[in-house]
Amino acid sequence: MAAAVLLVGGGGAYLATSATSGSGGSGSGSGAPAGDGTPPPLALDGHTEGGTNGIAPGEPNPNGVTYRADGDLPDGPDSAPVYRSTGDVTSAEVARLAKALGVEGTPKVEGDTWKVGASNDGSGPSLQVNKDAPGTWTFSRYAPGTDNCQKVDVCASGSAAGGAPVAEAVAKEAAAPVLKAVGQDTAKLDATQVAGAVRTVNADPEIGGLPTYGWTTGVQVGADGQVIGGSGNLKAPAKGDTYPVIGADKALDLMNGSGEATGGGRKGPGGCPSPVPLKDKDETRCEAATEAPAPASVTVEDAAFGLAARFTEGEQVLVPSWLFQVRPEGAAAGFTVTHPAVDPAYLTTPEPPSSVTPSPVDPDEPSGSAPKERDVKVEGYTAQGKKLTVSFWGGMCSEYSASADEENGKVTVTVTEKPSGKVCILIAKALERTVQLDEPLGDREVVGTNGKEVKEGNLADRAPNAK
């Protein structure tokens, strides 16, 4: 039995819940339960044995930032479950979303993706949904790169070429059927984001009665009030094992001690951590500082207990976390940073995810030598003429290069990561690189170095920290 009460104070609110300790569902951790109700260890990608989830092993605090609470912080519950994506996305679920988006056609499976709409030449509305939970989906009403601008609000990128963005209320009304189709019709909405004449409605759902961070559905509305694009997750996560959790004060102490800020609401964080406010441009290199900067003090205005999206052994999960609302000195607006609330005693280091090929350890190599290059999994692509743009998850402070092999009737793409060797916070970010093909892609299949098909679509459109 669980109880919940909404507590208000200090400029915000949080939902405090009480639940029995131990395994709270059918999900699994990174090991077998002890059989006495003790949950298995939870392996979080980026976590180290010292509990410094946001930085590499042995590295000092890279942020130079100290977070200080403005008043008392809440204790939160004693325990809370993780939520995991399980099962397969069904044809009926895809058809329901397609109907809400106005995409005609029957869902068909191509590889590991459901596809609906789009004619043979690639034009027209198109919906793609990953078969595996959580059913990541992307929608575009106009084909990327089309020059069909017969309507005033259609341009080459499918955004509005003229006019003004619709009002927030109009955008929310247009997005409502889509959000209902994905089970997020009661989610918290933010329609303030505008790019040109396109207004985006971002929906952050509650799951298990808790607010979420990083599980956002974005619906783009054009100047004519039509939904012209969108992305999100179709399948709701299932309740997994329940873990003891720590209070906001303890989480803040850990965050200050480790330098970890595992999520941020600011767009375009700088390439390397520096005293906030962060830069608004993307960078891919970290330059060594000749002198450590004096730690900056950032005010924590509020803390909410919720669920933040993290990765465990390459799989996305929602982890009990503290969502801190912070505001740098002199900044006009604040943003969110998150820290896992799971008791550090239950966190462990995962094996390297299958999406990354780790460099073998050379016993004769000095421990302080530069990190070796490695291949990174390609998550998506777009093609225009002889240009192929690939998207992937990468770190802030590494350098990335891409290449393509056009033999055997396929296009095999390789993205190589060259770590900087400098101190840098470990936050995943959607990145792109473009390669020049000998011939237009046409109907050739794009595959990664593992031989598996790469999904068509732009990962950056659905990434929370995308540029």
**Domain identity same for 133 and 179:** yes
**Domain identity same for 424 and 315:** no
Token pair of 28 as six digits: 């699994």
**Domain identity same for 423 and 320:** no
Checking if the pLDDT of 340 tops 90, the result is yes
Phi, psi of 174 (to 5 degrees): -70, -35
Final residue of a structural domain among 217, 236, 255: 236
Residue type, 411: V
Residue of 396 and 83 predicted with greater confidence: 83
Q: Calculate the alpha carbon distances from 56 to 26, 43, 45, 299, 398 in Å.
A: 31, 15, 11, 26, 13
Coil, strand, or helix at residue 195? strand
Range with the poorest average pLDDT among 57-66, 272-281, 323-332, 406-415: 272-281
Cβ atoms of residues 205 and 184 within 8 Å: yes
pLDDT digits (tens, 9 = 90+) for 135-179: 999 999 886 544 444 443 344 344 444 689 999 999 999 999 999
Q: What is the pLDDT of residue 78?
A: 94
**Domain identity same for 117 and 219:** yes
Angle made by CA atoms 281, 285, 290, in degrees to the nearest 5: 105
Residue of 369 and 2 predicted with greater confidence: 369
The count of domains in the chain is 3
**Domain identity same for 105 and 68:** no
**Domain identity same for 259 and 339:** yes
**DSSP run (H or E) holding 80:** strand 79-84
Cis bond upstream, residue 277 (ω within 30): yes
Q: What is the pLDDT of residue 299?
A: 86
**Domain identity same for 261 and 179:** no
How far is residue 412's CA from residue 445's CA, in Å, rounded to a whole number? 8
**Domain identity same for 96 and 210:** yes
Q: Is residue 423 domain-resident?
A: yes
Q: Is residue 120 domain-resident?
A: yes
Q: Of the ranges 157-166, 338-347, 427-436, which is most confident?
A: 338-347
**DSSP run (H or E) holding 42:** strand 42-43
Alpha carbons within 13 angstroms on the beta-carbon side of residue 23 total 16
**Domain identity same for 161 and 255:** no
241 pLDDT tier (thresholds 50, 70, 90): very high
Cβ atoms of residues 317 and 308 within 8 Å: no
Cis bond upstream, residue 107 (ω within 30): no
Q: Is residue 405 domain-resident?
A: yes
Q: Is residue 95 domain-resident?
A: yes
The range of the structural domain enclosing residue 176 comes to: 91-236
Checking if the pLDDT of 377 tops 90, the result is no
How far is residue 123's CA from residue 453's CA, in Å, rounded to a whole number? 21
117 pLDDT tier (thresholds 50, 70, 90): confident
Q: Is residue 365 domain-resident?
A: no
Coil, strand, or helix at residue 376? strand
Q: Of the ranges 287-291, 295-299, 331-335, 341-345, which is most confident?
A: 341-345
Can you list the positions of beta strands (E) in 105-197?
A: 108-110, 113-117, 126-130, 136-140, 188-195
**Domain identity same for 12 and 54:** yes
Q: Is residue 366 domain-resident?
A: no
